[in-house]
Structure 1
């Protein structure tokens, strides 16, 4: 059928045709058989007047010819009795329903407008380059409407967003975001780390709060192009990177809680150093059982803004008590100290010895039960640790009493947090709400042993005769992948 042959057309034009066809459904079959429904009815006149369409006359001619042929064949079949009026209407309806919906993100349509004034790039200094304080010269921006889908992506000079005061994001926090990094290796190549996971997580977060779906591959290609434009902003020193923040917001200007009909997706870049400038120096966590970062049935497994604003007050309280972050422990009434959740913006890991005779090592992190964010670094740590082969790796419910008891018995080897921003962050202790402190081991010499290894040399290690420090070993392994010292499928080169 004619409509099935329109896949060569841009999706926006298909959308125009689909609307025109839908409007003509009410026209009588007899009018169709008599040829009173012209080619203009099928949207050809509208398409012909579109500047971008008129630039491709060959496509226009093919569409004109195929539509003409299809109309003649249907009129002949109807007139000769081979096609009933009901069948004619059904075929037309099928053509309409089988057409693609509003357009998706298209990398081929990307438009670039370079900034006329470029900023001075900051020096890669861990003490002065604050996380997220400086943005690059350009940003990626794509708008969406329910009627027309995603418009052409655009890389523009960095600038303020124009929002109506009634935009839904400002009133109902209909917003989600991602955090990822680009690294420049010693070979000069720019690399992304498992970006497919970030695109999938953004897709899931958007779906959870009613924001539009998008083509994950196309968005990633647009981000790569933004990185090519801003390649001079990517630091080459180890430990430094270019932080990437894709964000999607609801921009429909309606003071009412309803599915949004307008949205915007934008991406900004920021050169960053270590999230914790102290490096692998351990930090303390305040154990918080009063505030809940996430709860069953909520959105703790999605990266939405509403998960983060309520943590600001507990974070301030933690700082007042000499702690760098908050460990959220959800009370479930079982008397086990509560379920261990996340540590600020980090996933938590505990390496402990079992109580059995062989004193087996077990690396434990809370399971993805809906309250835990499926971190990219979290998943990477789980997979790498399993490949080390000298420990049991578990994703399960973890109660705070288990950690407290293991610490008092000397069975806790290491505790650390993971995240895109911090990578691997060792924990030196917990401070409970009543002031009780739980000290944790951290073997800084063992960690330094692994960090001092030559980049890319971990494949030659003999773990049976080397000190135990997952913090050090995982950090060295991840750095090797980030900066291309080791070839790995998780490392995606931006050509």
Structure 2
């Protein structure tokens, strides 16, 4: 791509790396590219991060034609900056866009856009342990016309922010509410896509969970409200009787990059991974009889988040005495070791931004 660069007059002051939080501090620049029905993708540019102007009739504001991705850049001890499986984010966005009748942003252009922006923002990639540069590619319709239809204009953008731990608890176990009234996704819907509407629809469950002292929501399937699917911002896995269980990718669960990576690692380590429907009653039973050994969420933001307790109706089960399990800790150390360059990447998952 021919990417033009617009220099910022004055760079921002960078935040304290020891107190980054998550999603609070935006970097100096953003990548922008436009799509029109007549010309396709045009005008690739890296410009100062600033507000964007939208007509009040912009179709995204009314009909939510929008998709996004989440990924990170990591600084190794040697100072090298690397991405983690960026091609998977590109492919997932293509699938999301297809479902929402939005134009595909080609995989090679996606990876190049991310690489070039991170190169410009290399000084924003933090070096403190456990920190990284969070990268948010997203796309939305920009046509100004009321009426539900595939728009004639779109904008693809990438913004970045240096981050620490996603949850205040860090790698410590969290308490999860099993939601048995609200529904997140159904077959044939948009559950497998990464679109804003999925997350907006989950907020009520999150509010309910927080009122009950829980950090997140575990969603059940939308038909029977019987089988566990995923947590609000993560896929989820359970170690029961020495085997791993996680919901299958059948259209209602997000095909997570971290999920896929963990499954690869677990199988290499000799674990049996069951991508199958697990009834919440069986999960709770396993919690009470002691066969539920560990549970953990997987996602780009938190990487791995151990679960210490499940609350379902009037029933509560603690997992591993509310302590992080040995396998959970081992997986976290191994995967983050690959991402930060401390462990050999035998899978070829990391991508040097200068390569």
Post-superposition CA distance 1:39-80 (Å, at most 9, x none):
xxxxxxxxxxxxxxxxxxxxxxxxxxxxxxxxxxxxxxxxxx
CA contact (8 A) 2:8 2:47 kept: yes
Report if aligned partners of 1:178, 1:303 keep a CA contact under 8 Å in 2. Answer: yes
- Given that 1:289 and 1:330 are in contact with CA atoms closer than 8 Å, whether structure 2 keeps it comes out as no
1:194 corresponds to which of 85, 93, 117? 85
Contact 2:235 2:298 in 1 (8 A): yes
- Which secondary structure state, in structure 2, belongs to the residue aligned with residue 300 of structure 1? coil
Given that 1:250 and 1:260 are in contact with CA atoms closer than 8 Å, whether structure 2 keeps it comes out as: yes
1 or 2 for the larger relative contact order (CA 8 Å, sep ≥6)?
A: 2
Q: Is the 8 A contact 2:131 2:164 kept in 1?
A: yes
Question: Which TM-score applies when normalising by structure 2?
Answer: 0.96
Shift of 1:442: 5.0
Q: Which residue of 1 aligns with 2:235?
A: 347
Secondary structure of the residue that 1:152 maps to in structure 2? strand
1:123 deviation in Å? 1.2
Residue equivalent to 1:226: 117
Structure 1 position 297, deviation (Å):
0.8
Cα distance in 2 for partners of 1:432, 1:349 equals 17
Tell me what 1:161 maps to.
52
Match of 1:34 in 2: none
Give the structure with the higher percent strand. Answer: 2
1:213 corresponds to 2:213? no
**Structure 2 CA distance for aligned equivalents of residues 214 and 421 of structure 1:** 23
* Structure 1 residue 415, shift from structure 2 partner: 0.6
Shift of 1:443: 7.3
Question: How much does 1:280 deviate?
Answer: 2.0
The alignment's C-alpha RMSD in Å is 1.3
TM-score, normalising length from structure 1?
0.70
Q: Is the 8 A contact 1:233 1:271 kept in 2?
A: yes
Of the candidates 315, 326, 329, which is equivalent to residue 472 of structure 1? 329
State yes or no: 1:424 paired with 2:304.
Answer: yes
Unaligned 5+ segments in structure 2 are none
Structure 1 gap segments, 5+ residues each: 1-106, 354-360, 448-467
Work out which of the two has the higher radius of gyration on C-alpha atoms and give 1 or 2.
Answer: 1
Contact preservation (8 Å) 1:328, 1:340? yes
By percentage of residues, which structure has more helix? Answer: 1
- Asked whether the equivalents of residues 332 and 339 of structure 1 are also in contact (C-alpha less than 8 Å), the reply is no
CA contact (8 A) 1:414 1:440 kept: yes
- Counterpart in the other structure of 1:411: 291
Deviation at 1:331, TM superposition (A): 5.5
Measure the CA separation in 1 of the matches of 2:145 and 2:344.
50
